[in-house]
Amino acid sequence: MIDVINLKKDFNHVQVLKDINVTVNKGDIMVVLGPSGSGKSTFLRCLNCMEDPTGGSIIFNGVDIADMKVDINIHRRHMGMVFQHFNLFNNKTVIQNIMMAPVHVKCQELSQTKRRNFVTKVKNVFSSQKKELLPITTTKAQIRDEAKVQALDLLKRIGLEDKADVYPSTLSGGQKQRVAIVRSLAMNPDVILFDEPTSALDPEMVGEVLDLMKALAKEGMTMIIVTHEMGFAKEVANRILFMDEGRILEDSTPKEFFENPKTPRAKEFLSKVL
Ligand code: ADP
Ligand code: MG
């Protein structure tokens, strides 16, 4: 699904990612481990086009999204991202947060279709060969109604349908993060990237977020997760990437990684965190 080839990222002439090569398969639950500053967040941000790579390619669904000429917004729609600090819009209600992206994208598509049809109609007036108009089967009101039904379903799934009309500031950290996760689901992504989704939570709220992530993993969602939750990594991941100083030092199964790490850096890391 994602082929990362010789990915490099510099900040001010400092190489933060050095030749990252990895292939993510559909259904992979890939946990990215590594010391602070090893480049984990930068790696995820490059995958999601939030940073422009200095070199290399990221082939996502057959298209190189590291190429500046491609429309990254189209690819981002298929890639969800969940952040440490939730990144909900505090001036929107919970349900508005979930509906916003799908409504925006679908209304944009509708406007484009209407614009194209308008141009076709004008051309048809002057041409003997009449072109057919694109079918329009929806309205903005319908788009919003459908998004609302979907958002309520997603809230029901996490037991928060009664919170639809409240603002995020009234939610607990665990609730905010679960809303952020279902918000990313509303776009029906092919893959979701998680950057330390439980690091900002009080300990008693970590479990509810990890449980939701486990449920997604069971459903076959492809996920790339930066986390320090070693229990989760062992139990849920099918692959562990270990990063250090901008390189992938290990790409192995959890069993291999935790029982028999190959590199001294991984051994040292594990001796500190386990
Ligand atoms: P991790 O997530 O593994 O802790 P990061 O990807 O956040 O690591 O950071 C890797 C390195 O890149 C760090 O040395 C960090 O200071 C540097 N870095 C990250 N983002 C920027 C930026 N926007 N500008 C300059 N340096 C950055
Ligand atoms: Mg980070």
What pLDDT, in 10s, does the model give residues 134-175? 999 999 999 999 999 999 999 999 999 999 999 999 999 999
For the whole model, what pTM was predicted? 0.94
Question: According to the model, what pLDDT value does residue 101 have?
Answer: 94
Q: Which ligand is nearest to the CA of 84?
A: 2
* Pocket of ligand 1 contains residue 56 by CB under 6 Å: no
The 10s digit of each residue's pLDDT in 196-242 is: 999 999 999 999 999 999 999 999 999 999 999 999 999 999 999 99
Atom of ligand 1 nearest to the CA of 246: 10
**Looking at the predicted structure, is the pLDDT value of residue 59 above 90?**
yes
Of 110, 108, 2, nearest to 56 by C-alpha is: 2
H-type alpha helices, 71-139 = 72-76, 94-126
* Pocket of ligand 1 contains residue 227 by CB under 6 Å: no
The correct CATH number of 1-88+188-272 out of 3.40.50.300, 3.30.2130.10, 3.40.640.10, 1.20.1280.290 is: 3.40.50.300
The domain segmentation of the chain, as residue ranges, is 1-88+188-272, 90-125+133-165
- pLDDT bin (cut points 50, 70, 90) of residue 258 is very high
User: For the complex shown, is ipTM > 0.95?
Assistant: yes
Q: Which ligand is nearest to the CA of 40?
A: 1
